[in-house]
Every structure is written in C-alpha cells, then in structure tokens.
C-alpha cells in the first residue's frame, strides 16, 4: 500500500462513536453551573436571547454579556453558575433561545475526542450515556455546528 492509499484509508476511518451515543437531558442544570467557564455567543444569539427576555440587545448585553478578548461570553455568578440559570428553579431563562453551545452539549469536539473524554463527560452530566440513542450523523451535525 502506498502512502496516499494509507492516508485515504485513515481519513475514511470513522470515529470511535460511529455507532452512536446515548443522551437524555434530566434538566438537572449541572452543565450550566459549577466550574467557571465560557458560553461563547455571537450577535444573532445575543439578539435571540434579548428578544426572549423582552429586552433590547444593548440592554441584554450590558447585563448578561462580558467581553473576553475579541469574543463575547455570558456572564456568570461568582460560583460559576450561568447568569441565565434561574437560581430557584435551576432552569434556563432563555431555554427556547439558548445559544448553540448550550444546544449542542454534550456533543462537543472536546467531549468526543476520545472515549475517555466522553467517559468524563458522562461523569459530570447525568444525561450523557443514557436514554435516547443519537446516530453518528446527528452527533456530527451537532459537533460541527460550533467548535467547543
Ligand atoms: S448536566 Fe446533562 S442532564 Fe444535567 S442539565 Fe446539563 S445536559 Fe441535562
């Protein structure tokens, strides 16, 4: 086998999750809280969340968005909880208009890189690894929506 055959064979090799993965959200809110992190958003996502909260985009941005270098992220409470997570109900205040990064969890690049990464994801998210089976195509669609 020459090198180019070998390369094309490698590039055709499907990832370890080719048979699909399970996920059913229990709505526990853990992925929106805990360790500090970032939820990266663009203007369209800001506009959609602002509309859901019946605020102007400028007012929404002032209260809920922080600038990180050249990018923008949702503000967090000091304990790491997302600013849009209702502290009493533990539900997202803009669920129907939540950002892509939240919609595509747990099928992120970083969670799918290796089996071990997925195993760690299942340890922090009680919905990952159980319930509904997502096909390889569905996972890839989510993963490619945004690199996280
Ligand atoms: S941690 Fe998992 S199960 Fe809990 S709300 Fe987030 S996605 Fe759903």
CA 98 to the chain's CA centroid = 10
**22 CB within 6 A, ligand 1:** no
Task: Give alpha helix (H) positions in 35-114.
Answer: 43-52, 57-64, 100-104, 109-112
The pLDDT value recorded for residue 38 is: 94
The pLDDT value recorded for residue 13 is: 83
**29 CB within 6 A, ligand 1:** yes
Distance, in Å, from the CA atom of 12 to the CA atom of 122, rounded to the nearest integer, reads: 27
- Express each pLDDT in 39-76 by its tens digit: 999 999 999 999 999 999 999 999 999 999 999 999 99
The pLDDT value recorded for residue 34 is: 84
pLDDT means per 10 residues, the chain with 148 residues, are 50 88 94 91 98 98 97 95 92 95 96 98 97 98 94
**28 CB within 6 A, ligand 1:** yes
The pLDDT value recorded for residue 11 is: 54
**Cβ-based neighbour number of residue 24 at 10 Å:** 14
**122 CB within 6 A, ligand 1:** no
The pLDDT value recorded for residue 145 is: 95
The pLDDT value recorded for residue 36 is: 87
**CA quadruple 21, 27, 28, 32: dihedral, nearest 10:** 90
Determine the distance separating the centroid of ligand 1 and the alpha carbon of 28, expressed in angstroms.
5
Determine the distance separating the centroid of ligand 1 and the alpha carbon of 51, expressed in angstroms.
24
**125 CB within 6 A, ligand 1:** yes
The pLDDT value recorded for residue 59 is: 98
Write the residue with the smallest CA distance to atom 6 of ligand 1.
Answer: 31
The pLDDT value recorded for residue 4 is: 47
């Amino acid at each position: 086998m020459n090198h180019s055959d070998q390369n094309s064979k490698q590039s055709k090799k499907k990832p370890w999750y080719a048979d699909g993965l399970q996920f059913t959200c229990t709505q526990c809110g853990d992925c929106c809280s805990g360790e500090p992190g970032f939820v990266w958003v663009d203007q369209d996502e800001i506009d959609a969340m602002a509309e859901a909260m019946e605020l102007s985009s400028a007012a929404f941005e002032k209260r809920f968005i922080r600038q990180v270098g050249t990018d923008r992220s949702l503000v967090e409470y000091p304990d790491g909880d997302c600013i849009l997570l209702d502290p009493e109900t533990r539900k997202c205040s803009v669920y129907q208009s939540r950002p892509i990064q939240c919609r595509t969890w747990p099928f992120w690049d970083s969670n799918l890189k290796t089996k071990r990464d997925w195993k760690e994801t299942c340890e922090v998210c009680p919905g990952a690894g159980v319930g509904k089976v997502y096909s390889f195509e569905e996972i890839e669609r989510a993963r490619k929506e945004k690199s996280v």
